[in-house]
Structure 1
Amino acid sequence: MHNVLQSMERHLLGQGPNLRLLVTALLAGGHVLLEGVPGLGKTRMARTLAGLAGGDFRRIQFTPDLMPSDITGSVIFQMRDNEFQTVKGPVFTNVLLADEINRSGPKTQAALLEAMEERQVTIQGATYPLPDPFFVIATQNPVEYEGTYPLPEAQLDRFMFKLVLDYPDESSERNILRQHRSYMEQREETIEPLLTPDMLREQQRRLADVVVEDSILAYITAIVRRTRESRKVQLGASPRAGIAVLMASKAWALLDGRTFVTPDDVKLVARPALRHRILLSAQTELEGGTSDVIIQEALASAQVPR
């Protein structure tokens, strides 16, 4: 997995920490929500990871008129064969890019719930398993709200990470301009896979060998519970959030070549794993508070294992 990360850093400049978190989520078997203004390379990030990881890649552009069946598939009647046939939708892939996911209504957004949580899809009462591995990367624009539908808490809770993309620094932006090529050159570019689905599954199985001491488990529990105890929040992180922190910490350690989790691993993944699972109180929002501040306070108050 380390070679995948290095290759992504060569293709995508200025997003180093987010790239590592993206690979961490893939290794941990979670899904990722990318939030950033247009032009930061969110789609390119997903395409590059899919190309390096091997397997199939599909992209769905979410629009207000998108229907759930456009994602999962449907049953149609074939007059030629005089029988019904199941046509599987684009969700049947290894890496799925849900572009501008908040452009579609709640009913369409909910079509991904079963797929993301249970790795299966129900079409006209019949259940079909999704390919393994199955990884969803969703994107949304944080500054344009006209014609959008905010993701409900149940949908957000299915994402392991919410990564906030910012503008690259001046040096990285200059290198982006230096390395830019024409559209035709980009189309001719081929990304050689560094993994296969079987290799990725084997890497994911190695997570079971990563040791997590009881003191680390207590540390994760304390952080999660402190987000619920804060008076600044209306809804704190759920037990599923704690599981996300645990699995992400193990994946982060494995990327470092270690078979044990440290408190620093927990600190590094806590913010992206928890920020979208915390619902601030109205007063906190009026005062300009953010979920990242709540998480920082929880990290500061939880006793770090020695």
Structure 2
Amino acid sequence: MVTSKNDRSIWERRKLRAVGLGAALLSLLVARPAAADKTDDDARRAEELFKEARAAIDRNDYVTACPKFEESLALVRRAGTLFNLAQCEEHEGRLVTAMRYYKEGIVVLDPGDPRLAPSKKKLAEIEPRIPFLTIKPKTALPKDARVTIDGKEAEGIGVAVPINPGKRTISVLAPKRTEEKYVIEVAEAEQVEILVTAGKVIVEPPPPPLFGPRRIAGIAALGVGGLGFVGAIITGGIIVSANGRVEEGCPRVQCDTAKGYEAAELGKTMLVANAIAWGVGIAGAGAGAVLLLLDGKKKDREKNKTGHSFVVGPGFVGVEGKF
């Protein structure tokens, strides 16, 4: 039988598809046991944590029990864990959290589950005990202001939100303002309203001057030194020129001409001026360098110091920062 090129290409494609399907099936067979093993491990660990939490409750150790129930619930979400965690949270006074766990547990139960009726009854007992808090701004809050209750973002401003009874801390946070805190004690079933305002404006200290006194003195000293060097160069040139005229007018020890005598006197004067100019240049440059170096070290020390901010508010002026 003769096989055409077209038939051969079809055969090759079929072989490739078969190999691909085989590889896919093999990967599924390998992945399924791994996923099943992880699920089984999570279920076993969740059961262990649940038993440890129940044992802690038997010892009346709710502080240990609640986190273990939470960890077990994170691995496997079961109605039994939800209800036990709800009871644990209720015992610790966290009624809002307990209410949420009861509601979630009730939703996942089948209609004929015997736990449904007692769970609904317990939820009905908890809900009237939950206090509500209404936070209202006394004055308009800044645009980027945030209000938190015990460090968590408030669910709403100007509306009553459920909170756990006990001591609660309300904070108003806004950029470039101090944090304003309010600590309140809330009883069960209480309706609380609190007025809040943003904190005082933080006025940043003005930036330090670009050139301080020491830096100005250093720059001035360098300028004087530079003038000294310029004077030394000029007087040096005059000395060289006068020396040439002296050699022409005073070939011997005594000067024969008035020009030679004048050149000799000028040379003496310029030698003194040149020495003074070099001294001024060296002293100015040295003093300027030292002053600029000290100013740089002073700025480095100031950078390492803890900063402070001025706080300005109605009838209040102060300084905020670490000393």
Query: With structure 2 as the length reference, what TM-score do the two structures score?
Result: 0.20
Between Structure 1 and Structure 2, whose CA radius of gyration is higher?
A: 2
- Flag the structure with higher helix content: 2
Which structure's relative contact order is higher, taking Cα pairs within 8 Å and 6+ residues apart?
Answer: 1
